[in-house]
A and B are shown apart, each in its own frame.
Chain A
Amino acid sequence: MSNEEGYVTADGRKIGGTLMEMKNITLRFGGVKAITDISFDIKEGEIRAIIGPNGAGKSSMLNVISGFYVPQEGEVWFKGAKRPPMKPYQVAQQGIARTFQNIALFEGMSVLDNVMTGRLNHMNAGMFQQAIWKGKAEREEVENREVVEKVIDFLEIQSIRKTPVARLPYGLKKRVELARALAAEPMLLLLDEPMAGMNVEEKEDMSRFILDVNDEFGTTIALIEHDMGVVMDLSDRVVVMDYGKKIGDGTPDEVRNNQDVIDAYLGVAHD
C-alpha cells in the first residue's frame, strides 16, 4: 500500500511524496555502534513512529535527524536534496522542530515567552527597526503573536500563558514544549517520547493533540515512543528498531504481525 509517491491511509487521508529520507545511516560512539545501516523515509503529512525497546537507538536516530548527532556513514535527504552536515540550529532553521525526552524548556521564562522563542526564525527585522518599533519590526511582532496565540489556543494552555514554566507540572510542561515546536510552523515535527512519564489521562490528551496537529496543520510528524499501544493507534507507518538495527517497517498491522518485532518485544527463547 505504501509506494514511492504517497498513499492513502486507512482512514482516508492522502499522504504526499517523500519529505525526508535516511539512507544507510550508521552512528558510532567510540567503538559502540548506536545505529547500524538504517534506511527509512518520512512522507509528507504522515505520522511516522520509531519504536523499539530501551537502548534500541531510537533517540539517537531522532538526534541524527535534528542535527544533534552527525552520523559517520550514510546520507540524510530532506525535500529532495542531500543535506550537508549541519548544526542543530541550522536544521531548525530549515523547518524541523523538535521536543525532548527530558523536556528542554526555558524554565525562567513565562509560557508565552517560551512559545514566542519558537518564532525566532520568523523574525528578520533589523536591530534599529526593533529599537524604534516601527515598520517591519512592529508588523512582525503582531504577526508572530497571532500565530503564537493560535497555537496556545489550540493546545488549550491559555490559562497558564503568563505562568513561569518552572512552576508547571510535568504534563503541562510537555504540552508547552509541543507548543513551542508548533509555533515554528515546522515542515517536520520530531517528538521524542511525547508520552513518557504521563498518566493515562495525560497520554490520551497528548494523543489527541498529536492527531489534531497533523489533521489541522497538515504537519508531518515523526515520533519516538516505547509504549506500543499508543503508537499503533496514532501512527500511519512504523519503523521498529532493536540493538541499533531496523527489524521492521510498515503499517501498524504489518509490524504487529512481524515475527522479529514480536521476538524483540516479548523476548525469544535461546536454545
Chain B
Amino acid sequence: MPTQLLFGAEVFLNGLMAGVLYALVALGFVLIYKASGIFNYAQGVMALFAALTLVGIMDGQVPFSHLINAMLGTDVHHFGWHVNALISIILTMGVMIVLAYCVQQFVFRHLVGQEPIILFMATIGLAYFMEGFGDLMWGSDIKKLDVGLPQGGSFWIEENSQWLGFGNEEFYGFFLDQLDIVATGIAAILVIVLVLFSQYTKQGRAMRAVADDHQAALSVGISLNFIWVMVWSVAGFVALVAGIMWGAKSGVQFSLSLIALKALPVLMLGGFTSIPGAIVGGLIIGVGEKMFEFIVGPMVGGATENWFAYVLALLFLVFRPQGLFGEKIIERV
C-alpha cells in the first residue's frame, strides 16, 4: 500500500479522536441549551474549573491559600496528603453540583423569561467570574493531572496494524495515543448513559419535558428550578470528564477555557439542540481539520487547523443554519 494513503488513514483516526474531545465540550453546551435556552459561554471554563478542583483535591492543595497567607501572614500551601483519584473525582463532582445550585440560585433564577442575549451575557460574566474564582482558589500555575490514564502511543496497535502495510518498508503500523483511545471509550459510554438517562428515567423525562415547554412542564408538576439545577449538574459532570481528558493530555492550564471556542463550530455543524449532532459535529470537525491540514495544508503553507473549523461553520451558517441535526427553523407568517 502506498505510504501516503496509510499516513492519511492514521491522520483520519487521530482526527476522530481529537473530535471526541470537541464533542465532549459541545455536549455540555447542548444539554444546557436544550433545557433552558441558555447558550452557556462558561462551559469551557467549567471544564477548567473542574480540572483545577480535581488536581487541587488530589494533591491536597489548600484552597484559597494565597488569600489565607496574605491575610493571616501564614505560609500554608498543602495539607500534605494525597487523595485517591476516584475519591477526588467524586468530591469534584460534589463541588460541580454545588456550583450548579449556586449558578441557578444566584444568577439564572432571577433571569427567568429574559431575552436570550441577556442570558448569554450572564454566562459571559459567569465565565470570567469562574476563571477568577478558580485562580483565587487553586492558583494560576500550570498543573499536571495524573488520574492514572495511560499515556503515550499504543504499541499493541502499532504492532498489530503493521501487516496493513503489505510489505511497505516505510510503514511501522498506526500510531494512536492511548489516552485518545480511552477518551473515545469514555465519551461513548457517557453519551450512552446520557441517552438512557433522558429516555428512561423519571428525571430524564422531566428534563425533556422542560426542554420542550415550560408551561406544560409546570402543569404536570415539574419544578423548573430543580430540573435546571440538575441540568447544570449534568453539564458540570460532562465538563469534568472533558476537563480530565484535556488536562491529562496537555496539563491543567487556563488556556483550557478557550476550547469552548472550538466547540462553537461543532455546534454550528451539529445543531444546538441535538446530542447526536454534538457527537457527529465534533467528529467531523476533528477529522476535517486534520485531513484538511494533511491534504491542503502543504499547498498553502500549513496552519490551516486554526481556521478550518470556523470556515466550515460559516459555510453551514449560509447553507444549513439549523445544522445537521438541529430542529428545522420554520418562519410562520
Partner of A105, one of B205, B216, B327: B216
Question: Does A106 contact B221, Cβ atoms closer than 8 Å?
Answer: no
Q: Which of A78-117 contact B (CB under 8 A)?
A: 87-90, 92-93, 97-98, 100, 104-109, 113, 116-117
Complex: A109 Cα to B211 Cα, angstroms: 11
B113 to chain A, nearest CB (A): 13
CA distance A108 to B34 in the complex (A): 12
Contact yes or no, A100 B220, CB < 8 A: no
Chain B interface residue bracket vs A: 20 to 34
Residues of B contacting A39 in the complex (Cβ-Cβ under 8 angstroms): none
CB-defined contacts of A117 to chain B, threshold 8 Å: 205-206, 209, 217, 220, 222
Known contacts: A106-B212, A107-B213, A109-B208. The answer to whether A98 contacts B219 by CB under 8 A is yes
Q: Flag if B212 contacts A127 (CB, 8 Å).
A: no
Residues of chain A within 8 A (CB-CB) of B201 are 127, 130-131
Residue among B206, B213, B221 with max Cβ neighbours from chain A (10 Å): B221
Interface of chain B residues 180 through 221 with chain A (CB within 8 A) = 200-203, 205-206, 208-209, 211-213, 215-221
Q: Which of A100, A107, A108, A113 contacts B219 (CB 8 A)?
A: A100
A93→B208 CA distance, assembly (Å): 19
Interface residues on A, range: 20 to 34
**Residue B140 at the A interface, CB < 8 A?**
no
* Contact between A123 and B202, CB atoms less than 8 A apart: yes
User: Chain B CB within 10 Å — which of A68, A88, A97, A123 has the most?
Assistant: A88
- Across the interface, do A120 and B213 meet the contact criterion of CB distance under 8 Å? no
Bound CA span A101–B84, Å: 56
**Min CB gap A128→B, angstroms:** 11
A121 CB–B CB distance under 8 Å: yes
Assess A66 versus B219: contact at CB under 8 Å? Given A120-B202, A130-B201.
Answer: yes
Smallest beta-carbon distance B170→chain A, Å:
50
State the CA gap A180–B215 with chains docked (Å).
14
Q: In the bound complex, what is the Cα–Cα distance between A107 and B209 (angstroms)? A: 9
Bound complex: CA of A87 vs CA of B224, how far in Å?
10
Task: Give the Cβ gap from B72 to chain A, nearest Cβ, in Å.
Answer: 42
* Chain B contact residues, CB within 8 Å of chain A: 200-203, 205-206, 208-209, 211-213, 215-224, 327
5 A-B pairs with least C-beta separation: A92-B221, A104-B216, A106-B212, A88-B218, A121-B221
Given contacts A87-B218, A120-B221, A121-B220, 10 further A-B contacts (CB under 8 A): A68-B215, A87-B223, A89-B218, A93-B221, A104-B213, A106-B213, A117-B217, A127-B201, A127-B203, A130-B201
By a beta-carbon cutoff of 8 Å, the part of chain A in contact with chain B is 66, 68, 87-90, 92-93, 97-98, 100, 104-109, 113, 116-118, 120-121, 123, 125, 127, 130-131, 180-181, 184
